[in-house]
Amino acid sequence: MAIAETHDTHGEHHDDHHDHGEFIAHHFESPEQQFDSGKLGIWIFLVTEVLFFSGLFVLYTLYRNYHPEIFQVAHHYLDKNLGCLNTIVLLFSSLTMALAVRSAQTGKNKNCETYLLITMVCATIFLGVKAVEYSHKWDLGIWPRSMFHYHEGVHETGIFGLSNYLIKLSVIPTLLLVGFAGYAAFQYLTDKANNARFYIGMTIMVLGYFAGVVGGVVYQNAIAGDSHAHAALQTAAPLMLHAATIDKSSAGHDDHVHADGEGDSHDDHDHADVPAGSQESVPDSVGIFFSIYYCMTGLHAIHIIGGIVALAWIYRRSQLGHWREDYFGPVDYVGLYWHLVDLIWIYLFPLLYLID
């Protein structure tokens, strides 16, 4: 209701270009009708997002029920420390997002701008770390179910001994970095300092990705000691230990009770896929865990990227000084979305990384 009160006092300054009249769409009767509509709209949108992910959570629950032993084993292959780092980064970004909303509500555009930039950098750090995690797994043949074929050690590396997959994943961020930095310089040279500021912000945002990558790689090298193979072995050890268990329980699946009670024709195929005497390597059926892992984290990452685009939009608008006490809706809406994306990660992290 604070909005309603300020509305009347500011009503006079029509020539002031900050007047909310500028931002109220013609079909709304009042700023607060617009705000309420936006707020309800974003909440409903978040409900659809939750339902969208809920399909995957159902999948997770079912398959964990069908094959608890696979989940027990497979999660050892996710790096808890990197996951934890990402969790902290995202939680921190939620804090800065909340502060950005607060700043917008009090009309402090400058602060809002800073907080939003920090939020975006956190988001890209998250993606950088995720890229390191993904590429490392791909190097070891840890793919979704049908492509899953675990092998130890990395066969090929690219420049600086980096994973080829990591290099491929970083192509787009690199292009973005060059593009944004170059454009910022161009704008600066043509005396459009205002625009330049935005592109400098974008450059910093993309740098976050590389910070994440560097952090992740340094960490991995540190635990690897001297040789890559060593690292792989270390992480893989529990997998091999458990491989025998999986094989057995897949074979003895007939006494499993199934939630849908429709028999277990699919399980028969399952262990047919596992080569006999595969104790030495990881059975391919473990891939189902990673199918679900990639679906969930991949969809989440897409939402992070979407979030960054939205953040960039309100970042620009804070630079233009759009927010005031009676007009800050967009920051609020993006904030809610961002908190949801964080929240989903808060569920994904323990469900996927911390199964024990």
Partner 1 sequence: MVRLKRACGQTANKLPDETQQRQRQNTVAFKLKKVTTMATAETRNKIFGTPETNYLNCTKGWKSWAFTLDHKRIGVMYLVGVTIALFLAGAFALILRSHLVKFDSNMLSYDRYNQMFTLHGAVMVFAFIIPSIPAALGNFVLPMMLGAKDVAFPRMNLASFYLWIVGTMCLLGAILFGGGLDTGWTFYTPYSIETETGVIWATFGAFVLGFSSIFTGLNFLVTVNTMRSPGQTWFKLPLFLWSLYATSIIQVLATPVLGITLLLLIAEKTMHIGVFDPRYGGDPVLFQHFFWFYSHPAVYIMILPGMGVISELISVYSQKRIFGYSFIAFSSVAIALLGFLVWGHHMFTSGQSPLVTLIFSAITFSVAIPSAVKVFNWLATLFKGSILLNTPMLYALSFIFLFGIGGLTGLFLGALSTDIHLHDTYFVVAHFHFVMVGGTLTALLGGLFHWWPKMFGRMYNDFWGRVSCALVFIGFNVTFFPQFVMGARGMPRRYASYDPEFQIFHQISTVGAFVLGIGILLAYGVLVYAARYGKRCGSNPFRAASMEWQSSSPPDFHNFIHKPTVNDPYDFDSQVYDEELDTYLPREYADPAKTPPRKEPVHH
Residue span binding partner 1 (CB under 8 A) among the ranges 122-130, 162-170, 235-243, 287-295: 287-295
Among 291, 316, 336, 343, binds partner 1 (CB under 8 A): 291
Query: Taking CB under 8 A as the rule, which mask of x and - marks residues 82-101 in contact with partner 1?
Result: --------------------
Q: Determine, following the binding rule CB under 8 A, whether residue 45 of this chain makes contact with partner 1.
A: yes
Which of 52, 88, 175, 252 is the binder for partner 1 (CB under 8 A)?
52
310 scored as a contact of partner 1 (CB under 8 A):
no
Residue 343 interacting with partner 1 (CB under 8 A): no
CA gyration radius, the chain = 25
Tokens of 204: 């910093």
User: CB neighbours of 214 closer than 8 A, spacing ≥ 6?
Assistant: 128
**Per CB under 8 A, 260 contacts partner 1:** yes
Give 114's strand partners.
none
d(CA 165, CA 157): 9
Q: Does 26 bind partner 1 (CB under 8 A)?
A: yes
Q: Which stretch binds partner 1 (CB under 8 A): 75-83, 173-181, 260-268, 329-337?
A: 260-268
Decide if residue 12 touches partner 1 (CB under 8 A). Answer: no
What stretches of the chain show up as alpha helix (H) in DSSP?
2-10, 31-66, 68-74, 80-105, 109-139, 164-169, 171-189, 193-224, 228-251, 265-273, 287-319, 329-353
Residue 294 in contact with partner 1, rule: CB under 8 A? yes
Please tell me whether residue 51 binds partner 1 under the rule CB under 8 A: yes
Which helix (H) or strand (E) covers residue 17, if one does?
A: none
In terms of CB distance, is 16 or 218 closer to partner 1? 16
Specify the residue, 108 or 273, whose C-beta has the smaller distance to partner 1: 273
**Among residues 1, 171, 189, 222, which is the contact residue for partner 1, using CB under 8 A?**
1
Is 164 within 8 Å of 157 (Cβ atoms)?
Answer: yes
Residue 65 interacts with partner 1 (CB under 8 A)?
A: no
d(CA 66, CA 258): 7
The letter for the amino acid at 239 is: L
> CB–CB of 167/158 below 8 Å?
yes
Say which DSSP state 119 is in. Answer: H
Per CB under 8 A, the list member of 33, 190, 245, 279 interacting with partner 1 is 33
How far apart are alpha carbons 122 and 212 in whole angstroms?
A: 9
Q: Check binding of 31 to partner 1 (CB under 8 A).
A: yes
Q: Say how far apart CA 136 and CA 165 lie, in whole Å.
A: 8
Residues within the interface to partner 1 (CB under 8 A): 1, 4, 7-8, 14, 19, 21-22, 24-33, 36-37, 40-41, 44-45, 47-49, 51-56, 58-59, 62-63, 66-67, 144-147, 260-263, 265-267, 269-270, 273, 285, 287-288, 291-292, 294-295, 299
